[in-house]
A and B are shown apart, each in its own frame.
Chain A
Amino acid sequence: MIKYLPTHEYIRVEGNEGYIGISPFAAKELGVVTYVDMPEEGDEVVAGEEFGAIESRKAASDLFSPVSGEVIEVNSALEDDPTLVNADPMKNWIIKVSISDPAELDALMNEAAYEASIK
């Protein structure tokens, strides 16, 4: 299952874990990604709150978490090559979290709703 925030972050849910990244639309809008500012493993994230930032030459955008939980992994490959986000934003997630309240997922947009929102 993949769900989205209106601010273009996605969460791909696998059991009670989720992979959070930015949508292909957002990656394209941003342009070549120059840096991803990520939290540390073990940090708490809160649904709707900022957990990091993603930068291109022209702008820095805050990253918002779709769910509450704990960061169990950061995608360290992005430290060496942030443009992986441009290459395949769905595959190259930014953080992996444990989901503390699965009910929060219900408030997020599904794929169809998200696609409609960026049309």
Chain B
Amino acid sequence: MENSEIKKTCLHDRHTALGAKMAPFAGFDMPIEYAGLDAEHQAVRTAVGVFDVSHMGEVIIEGPDAERFVNHIFTNDVTAISAGQILYGMMTYEDGGTVDDLLVYKVADDCYLLVINAANIDKDIEWILSAADGYNVAITDLCDAYGELAVQGPDAERILSAVTGVDLSQMGFYTFEMFDGEDASLPVVISRTGYTGEDGFEVYDTNERIVELWDALMASGVQPCGLGCRDTLRFEAGLPLYGDELTAEISPLESGLGMFVKLDKPEGFIGSDALKTQKEAGVKKKVVGLEIDSPATARHGFEVLDAEGVKVGEITTGYRSLTLGRNLAMALVDARCAALGTPLQVRIRKKTVPATIVKKRFYTTRYKK
């Protein structure tokens, strides 16, 4: 991507002033780390950290057919939730491959907020528009209008309540509240959600007010956290990243996300026929956890071999886990060698090292239910 095309979030100046190491991610110049990945990771596990996630995309779908339309493009079932609740799920292609994973916020029976991955914004919006034929819905792209912060960690409730003046202690996991903002068309959204395996919140507001909130959190001593530890944290919690554990070639079932795929919805959804077939026949490949018996880290794309040395898959993400002190990875492997305890091998550059299939939820998440 040309430098001139790279986008900046509303907090870009703040990041550079803090001396963050910046790098391009999903078309944005994003902070990778400030104090160092390990310190930021620890802050979220033991106290609180804040992430600028203003690069994420927000799309509103409203109108008489909103519920039916969202259910048509989404693997989970929005008829199961009430206003103020949130569902995680995916959009899938006709063949069951994944378009994106996303959160759906039910604002009202006829209004939903979709939060999509930054790297997929253009593709997703095109996909959503192309699927909307025959549905009476209005689709509004708020990706640039909304900034977003993720405040994560065991102290998130206390700090964010103090800074915003909103008592967040009663907000349930995967629920949200909306408040009138300074811009009537852009309400403030606070949800009890995140991508770290800890308790935490995500806040959506105008770019201007997101900067104010960031400054207030900094003044309260909250650790700014970059995308580096966002990845190590979500990895420990076994959460997928689109591009690694979910792609156009990896279905939600193959990624082990079947609980977010409702194949029994009466009207189905785009991709549901293919996913039903996949489920009935059994998936041919699966995303698994691996524990690696070597000091070397397995990285995305490294080959996974069976005990005889035959290639059976590839690493999708790998890190030496800071919280657990174990050398771990997620990998996409043939279903025949996906059983817990199966001995495999990983090729790390010129060496081949032993690995064993383990549960991929490496870290026991600490959500406040």
Q: Which residues of B contact A35 (CB under 8 A)?
A: 295-297, 320
Q: How far is the CA of A17 from the CA of B208 in the complex (A)?
A: 60
Interface flag for B348 (CB, 8 Å): yes
Question: In the bound complex, do residue B351 and residue A37 qualify as a contact, i.e. CB atoms below 8 Å apart?
Answer: yes
Minimum Cβ distance to chain B for residue A80 (Å)? 10
The total number of A-B Cβ pairs within 8 Å is: 36
Question: In the bound complex, do residue A57 and residue B37 qualify as a contact, i.e. CB atoms below 8 Å apart?
Answer: yes
Q: Which residue of chain B is the closest to A52 with respect to CB atoms?
A: B349
Q: Which residue of chain A is the closest to B294 with respect to CB atoms?
A: A35
Closest 5 CB pairs of A and B: A35-B295, A35-B296, A34-B320, A58-B228, A58-B37
Measured as residues with beta carbon below 8 angstroms from the partner, the interface class of chain A is 10 to 19
Interface flag for A31 (CB, 8 Å): yes
Q: Which residues of B contact A58 (CB under 8 A)?
A: 32-33, 37, 228, 232
B interface SS class: mixed
Measured as residues with beta carbon below 8 angstroms from the partner, the interface class of chain B is 10 to 19
Question: In the bound complex, do residue A57 and residue B322 qualify as a contact, i.e. CB atoms below 8 Å apart?
Answer: yes
Q: Which residue of chain B is the closest to A82 with respect to CB atoms?
A: B295
**B36: which of A31, A34, A55 is its contact (CB, 8 Å)?**
A31
Q: How far is the CA of A55 from the CA of B36 in the complex (A)?
A: 15
Q: Which residues of B contact A87 (CB under 8 A)?
A: none
Question: In the bound complex, do residue A60 and residue B36 qualify as a contact, i.e. CB atoms below 8 Å apart?
Answer: no
Minimum Cβ distance to chain B for residue A11 (Å)? 22
Q: Which residues of A contact B295 (CB under 8 A)?
A: 34-35, 79, 82
Q: How far is the CA of A61 from the CA of B320 in the complex (A)?
A: 15
Q: Which residues of B contact A32 (CB under 8 A)?
A: 36, 38
Known: A32-B38, A57-B232; 4 extra A-B contacts, CB below 8 A, are A35-B296, A57-B322, A58-B33, A60-B297
Minimum Cβ distance to chain B for residue A84 (Å)? 14
Given contacts A57-B232, A57-B319, contact A37 B296 (CB under 8 A): yes
Interface flag for B347 (CB, 8 Å): no
Minimum Cβ distance to chain A for residue B36 (Å)? 6
